[in-house]
Structure 1
Amino acid sequence: MSEDRPTDHAAVPDTGDEPAAPTAEPALAAAETAKPAGRRRLPTLLAIAAVLFGLDLLTKCLAVAYIKPYEWIPIIGDFAGFRLVRNPGAAFSMATGMTWLLTLVAAAVVIGVIRIGRTLRSLWWGIGLGMVLGGALGNLVDRIFRSPGPLQGHVVDFVAVGSFPVFNVADSAIVCGAILLVALTVFGFEPDGTRSGRKHSSEETA
């Protein structure tokens, strides 16, 4: 007499259906919602702005203390030197009759740069915006606190090179920072740390 022995594995009916292959949709969705790589660059931006602002303020104080108005102090013959002037206009003595408007524009630039910097992840964008912020703050302080009065103050300029209008450290920082930001935009470097050309190519590959 034979006895039925329990089988090791339960019988599974063959329905003919194969397991569904995993799709790439979850991975793509996760990639789209992922945050940009890199750390925030606001501290870098603020550090650069603080250094340039301090340097601008120090050099202006020294210029006012040791250079007489319109006195020429040669550094490289007649090509480059120091000449103290009071500028009511923008960088390089432009828009001299719009001092109050330039003050408001400088204040708006400061606020805008700080707002952008809160989500910034690109080091180079942080450097460029830090230069613009430091320069804008330097000239803004002059317009608020120097004579002839608030919002009408004249900016201290003292660097003379060739036939260029007399300028200061803040003017140089603004111009150099703006050039850097334009170059970053032209070559596709984004404020979030990505590069537009590479971003598009990776999306096409996916």
Structure 2
Amino acid sequence: MVKGSEAQRSRGSLVAAGAVAVLVAIIDLITKWTVTRWLGPSAKDREWWIVDGQLGFDYGRNSGAAFGLFQGNAELLAAISVLVAIGFCWLIFHEVDGVVARVLSAGMLLGGAVGNLVERFRQSYVTDFIAVGPWPRFNVADSAISVAVLLFIVTVVFQTRTETGDDGQSSTHEA
């Protein structure tokens, strides 16, 4: 049975992660819409560089996975994305323990997945536009997903090191 304060913390974590997810998805979809209008198929120029050829905006349609990998498998990738997002969010929520970074991680992952899935289901591709050198091209959703996974891993590693101490031995001692 879940105690009152644990239930409130869990409910609060869900609400916070949900809010982050909605925010990430909205920002992702608005930036994709804006870039499509600005640099999309009907635009005179499809790229705008802040640092010539190294950092900028370069419109592209991605029918593959993050960073343009596995092109042409939209339906399979959509199904895999849904399963991975659900599985990773389940893992995060079972490991949240009131850790703010993990709540943010869950929200960012879910928001990024939703942002990309909306486009993938609506048009069979995802709009990529952030350019770093000749490769990769990605979007806000891809960034959120990558940061979420990294943030979760860092919190797990940090927690493990805190629990075991520097010598690898558990810091809790039984009498």
Q: TM-score range by the shorter chain?
A: 0.7 to 0.9
Amino acid at match of 1:128: S
Going by fraction, where is helix more abundant, 1 or 2?
2
Q: Which residue of 1 aligns with 2:153?
A: 182
CA RMSD of aligned residues (A): 2.9
- Equivalent residue pairs, number: 163
1:163 aligns with 2:140: no
After superposing the two structures, state which structure 1 stretch, 115-124 or 96-105, moved more.
Answer: 115-124
Shift of 1:80: 1.3
Q: Which residue of 1 aligns with 2:111?
A: 134
Q: Which residue of 2 aligns with 1:83?
A: 58
Q: Name the CA shift for 1:165/1:154 in 2 (closer, same or farther; >3 Å).
A: same
Shift of 1:185: 2.0
Query: Could you tell me the TM-score, scaled by structure 1's length?
Result: 0.68
1:68 aligns with 2:43: no
Give the Cα–Cα distance (whole angstroms) in 2 for the partners of residues 114 and 178 of structure 1.
10
Runs (5+) with no aligned partner, structure 2: none
Give the Cα–Cα distance (whole angstroms) in 1 for the partners of residues 164 and 66 of structure 2.
34
Contact 1:132–1:177 under 8 Å retained in 2:
yes
Shift of 1:98: 2.4
Contact 2:53–2:134 under 8 Å retained in 1:
no
Contact 1:142–1:155 under 8 Å retained in 2:
yes
Query: Could you tell me the TM-score, scaled by structure 2's length?
Result: 0.79
Please list the CA deviations of residues 125-171 of structure 1 after superposition, one character each: whole Å capped at 9, or x if unmatched: 1111211111111111111111xxxxxx1110111111322110001
Q: Which residue of 2 aligns with 1:39?
A: 9
Shift of 1:196: 4.0
Q: 1:105 aligns with which of 66, 75, 80?
A: 80
Please list the CA deviations of residues 67-120 of structure 1 after superposition, one character each: whole Å capped at 9, or x if unmatched: 134722122233211111100111100111322111001111343355456654
Q: Which residue of 2 aligns with 1:96?
A: 71
Give the Cα–Cα distance (whole angstroms) in 2 for the partners of residues 68 and 139 of structure 1.
17
Q: Name the CA shift for 1:170/1:140 in 2 (closer, same or farther; >3 Å).
A: same
Shift of 1:64: 1.1
Amino acid at match of 1:130: G
Amino acid at match of 1:133: L
Contact 1:87–1:154 under 8 Å retained in 2:
yes
After superposing the two structures, state which structure 1 stretch, 34-43 or 102-111, moved more.
Answer: 34-43
Contact 1:106–1:137 under 8 Å retained in 2:
no
Secondary structure of the structure 2 residue equivalent to 1:201: coil
